[in-house]
Amino acid sequence: MTKLSRVQTPEEKVAKGEFILQVAERIIRDEGLEALSVNRLVQETGFAKGTLYLYFTTRHEILASLFVQMLTAWNHRLGKNLTKARNYDEFCARYMRELTYDPLFLPMLVLERLDLETGLPDDTYAKVSLALQQVLGEQTEVFKETLDLTDQLASNLVWAFYTAALGAAKFPQSPNMRASVSFEVREFQEALRFDTLFRNLVDQFAP
């Protein structure tokens, strides 16, 4: 007699999808984004490749789901902490601190712009785009209330901060300073730190 497989409950399906994402996140946190692949997930989860494809058809879809999770967490932290700022300088410092709180978030933010945009099916691409749109919209309200701005100025500033973060993210947070080089060279390298570049950019938009 053929043994029938038990049908999974919706809760079990959700739990299995979350487990796959947890394993994927552990891999990229421990070994970097390049270490993640479908074959590696098959090895680490013990699931057949066909089972993984029921949840995520490509590596890009896995990264997109992780990005949305991290984006939501970042936005939640910003919402709680930016409103405590007493002035623009503190506001910028709090924003930058939340950008770097999770060391994986900035690389994922850049990845979403450079790589995920071209490697996703339309429905997943739309989900990621709508998530980012919602986050930036919610941040507009926070900027508006905390800095006492008009809707348009708040929206412009949100986009300015987001653009500054993407640009500065390509530079190291802690440059490798060579003791043998001159003070002028070390000073120049210090100016190329992520936090220095980010503040130099956003300080120009002080209301």
Is domain 63-205 annotated with CATH 1.10.357.10?
yes
How far apart are the C-alpha atoms of 135 and 98, rounded to whole Å? 14
To the question of pTM greater than 0.95 for the whole model, the response is no
Q: Helices (DSSP H) in the chain: which residue ranges?
A: 10-31, 38-45, 49-53, 59-81, 88-101, 105-114, 122-147, 151-168, 183-191, 194-202
200: pLDDT strictly greater than 80: yes
Per-residue pLDDT tens over the stretch 8-36: 777 778 889 999 999 999 999 999 999 99
4: pLDDT strictly greater than 50: no
Q: Which CATH superfamily is domain 9-56 in?
A: Homeodomain-like (1.10.10.60)
- Per-residue pLDDT averaged across 43-52, rounded? 92
- Per-residue pLDDT averaged across 53-58, rounded? 90
Residue 133, burial from CB neighbour count under 10 angstroms (0-12, 13-18, 19+)? exposed
Question: What does the pLDDT read at residue 83?
Answer: 94
68: pLDDT strictly greater than 90: yes
**Residue spans per domain, the chain:** 9-56, 63-205
